[in-house]
Amino acid sequence: MIDLSKDLLAAAEANVIGLAVIGADRSMQRKIGGLVEWLPAIGIDCCECMLLVGMEAELAALASGQRDMIALAGVRGASPDITQPMTAVVLWNGAQSHYFVIAMPDFAGRQVETLLGSERRARRLMEQQLEAASAEVRFASLARTRLRLARDLHDTLVHSIVALLTQIRLIRHYLSADPSRVADSLATAEDAAASGLGRAREAIARLRMPDDWKLDPDVEGQLSDFATRSGVRVSIQIDEEARAGLRDCGLTVQRILSEALRNVQTHAQARRVSFHAFDEPAAVGRKLVVEIRDDGRGFDPAVPTPGHFGLIGMAEFAELVGGSCAVESAPGQGTLVRISLPVAVPPVASAGVLAD
């Protein structure tokens, strides 16, 4: 077993790696180095961390010897100070009855074998990270997918539970202060539960959807449903030359549009939303540009919002297909989401060959 004080403590104190100790009861006991700042504060259950939420069974299996480790690949966005992908490994120290976490930048993957002192463990870690794929592109895709799952759970279950707790507290207050309002509050709580259930089902459907599945996009229907549900006035403009690109990039556009509309309904307090899709020349080939604009209250993109991953997720969805997603906003000035995605250019027919 690794002696933390001798083998890893110096590296953690030099901020080369991050090191944390978690008690058998999952409470945080010690954190060393900036690479583990994404873990909860001392004394807090480690499973309250976004990347470990719902992993109680995996931790129990680790402590009982049913598995060797838990690998968290591509940790990014969990802390404002973490700007690059990072790998974290959770191990069990049976001699001292505690878990310990080692976090390191992904470029130090080959150092994992030396730090853990076991070729077998290093091989299993790489298999979990890459799912038997050695390409860095595949690794990046898997890491982003894991973050997408975490955000989907955060944006459905966490938000819905918070809304229900708020209504429950109001109901408790009205029981003694104004019983006549209890019925309305119960109806609001029921609506919050139904809305949360619907969003959870949508998230589950997204989790079961293969990333390479090409949809026939119905963004107009998506926008129409949003207008009906929210009461926000929606205008749609899709240039004819953009429809092929919109069809080819349908899955990515739908994901980003869904997150943008959720932000409008939850935060913007907007009255109008416009959707414009058009085609532009690119350095190589063509690109689809989609602009989603609202007249809401806006925000300052430079101000960090810990615990919120929607904007990060929108950018990552675009990056997965070689595109980009930029957000422009300012307090009182509304918000513009601009998506730019490369689209395939059909081959030019050879001379003398007639296209159907």
- pLDDT (average), residues 244-267: 86
Question: 198 lies in a domain?
Answer: yes
Q: Which domain holds residue 249?
A: 210-344
Q: Mark whether 138 and 39 lie in a shared domain.
A: no
Q: Is residue 236 scored above 90 in pLDDT?
A: yes
CA 109/CA 105 separation, integer angstroms: 8
**Better-scored residue on pLDDT, 214 or 323:** 323
Q: d(Cα 130, Cα 114) in Å, to the nearest integer?
A: 19
| pLDDT of amino acid 135 | 46
pLDDT at 75: 62
pLDDT tens sequence across 127-157: 665 554 444 455 455 556 666 666 666 656 6
Helix H segments across the chain? 4-7, 9-13, 56-63, 111-116, 119-130, 136-153, 159-177, 182-207, 219-230, 243-248, 250-263, 310-320
Confidence of residue 317 (pLDDT cuts 50, 70, 90): confident
The pLDDT of residue 337 is above 90: yes
- List CB contacts of 122: < 8 A, sequence separation 6 or more: 112, 113, 116
Phi, psi of 249 (to 5 degrees): -100, 25
Residue 16 pLDDT more than 70? Answer: yes
**pLDDT tens digits for range 64-96:** 999 888 888 656 545 556 666 678 889 998 888
Strand ranges for the chain from DSSP E? 18-23, 28-32, 70-72, 86-93, 98-105, 233-238, 272-281, 286-294, 324-329, 335-343
Average pLDDT on 181-207 reads 75
User: Is residue 1 included in any domain, yes or no?
Assistant: no
**Residue corresponding to tokens 């949809």:** 215
Q: What is the pTM of this model?
A: 0.43
Do the beta carbons of residue 60 and residue 70 sit within 8 Å?
no
Same domain flag for 149 and 274:
no
Residue 98 shares a structural domain with residue 161: no
Q: Write the CATH number for 234.
A: 3.30.565.10
Give me the chain's average pLDDT, please: 77
